[in-house]
Amino acid sequence: MKNKKTIYNVIFLTACAGIFFFLWSAPPETTAHLPHDENHERFMQMNKKEAEKFCTECHSAEGIQPLSKEHPSKYRCLLCHKRK
């Protein structure tokens, strides 16, 4: 019985160490946060999906700051660009 407990403890500690190493070696976050300025202030209190409806007003080909061609999906902005 004691031997079985030791094996489970070793398995548990190995799994925890593996998870810790995996998370520790993750690359740093490189995506810019949503700016906390007067242009974006109104979106800070909104629901994410509600706020994302307004992103293309400025961040489109016709907008103030268009997105690059390499930019991924343009429909879930606040999934990557976190609010501070």
pLDDT tens digits for 27-79?
Answer: 988 888 999 899 999 999 999 999 999 998 888 888 888 888 888 877 788 88
pLDDT, residue 25, reads 95
pTM over 0.75: no
CATH code (residue 64): 1.10.1130
Domain of residue 58, residue span:
2-80
Cα dihedral angle (32, 38, 42, 48), rounded to 10 degrees?
0
For the chain, how many structural domains are there in total? Answer: 1
pLDDT, residue 22, reads 96
Taking alpha carbons only, the member of 24, 58, 31, 22 closest to residue 43 is 58
